[in-house]
Amino acid sequence: MKVVLQRTYYSQGTHGTIFVNGEEVCHTIELPWLNNQRQVSCIPEGSYMLRKRFNQKFKWHLALEAVKGRSGILIHPANDAKKELLGCIAPVLYHTGIGKGVYSRRSLDLLLMKLNGVLETQERIPFFIESLKV
């Protein structure tokens, strides 16, 4: 299984699209790129491992492992990057403005459903973040 997040960067936020085995699953919102500064920047492009995680606040969501210089990076619901994210990634159905989107919980559920079979049989899934190639 190949999971890829392709990003486009803006000064006020970062937009992306997640593909699973080449199929578009959802869009994403993140904070802008600010040199990987904790809590104010999106994370660097690269390869990570995804694992399923549960807590009371977000219910089932995903965690990224081995993010250089960072910890606690999640894929969780949020509709406004500047107000709701501290370096994490939020899936959204579509973008409504820079760093903003809608139906985040629904989009995360779609992503989890797409990954669930693999997450049940293996603990981690490779996750690649790259710049959108135009």
Q: For residue range 22-33, what is the model confidence (pLDDT) as tens digits?
A: 999 999 999 999
Q: What does the pLDDT read at residue 134?
A: 58
Give, in order, the Cα–Cα distances in Å from 96 to each of 16, 32, 100.
13, 16, 5
**Does residue 111 have a pLDDT over 80?**
yes
Which residues form the domain of 8?
A: 3-131
Residue 119 has a pLDDT of 79
Place of tokens 């399923």: 52
Vertex 81 angle, CA 21 and 3, to 5° = 10
Q: Who's near 120: CB < 8 A, 6+ residues apart?
A: none
Spatial separation of the C-alpha atoms in residues 45 and 30, rounded to whole Å: 13
> Which is more confident, 118 or 37?
37
The reported pTM is 0.95
pLDDT at residue 27, as a whole number: 98
Question: Taking residues 56-69, what's their average pLDDT?
Answer: 94
The number of distinct structural domains making up the chain is 1
For the chain, give the longest Cα–Cα distance.
Answer: 40
Question: At 35, phi and psi to the nearest 5?
Answer: 55, 35
Paired sense of beta strands 125-131 and 3-10, if any: parallel
CATH at 76: 2.40.440
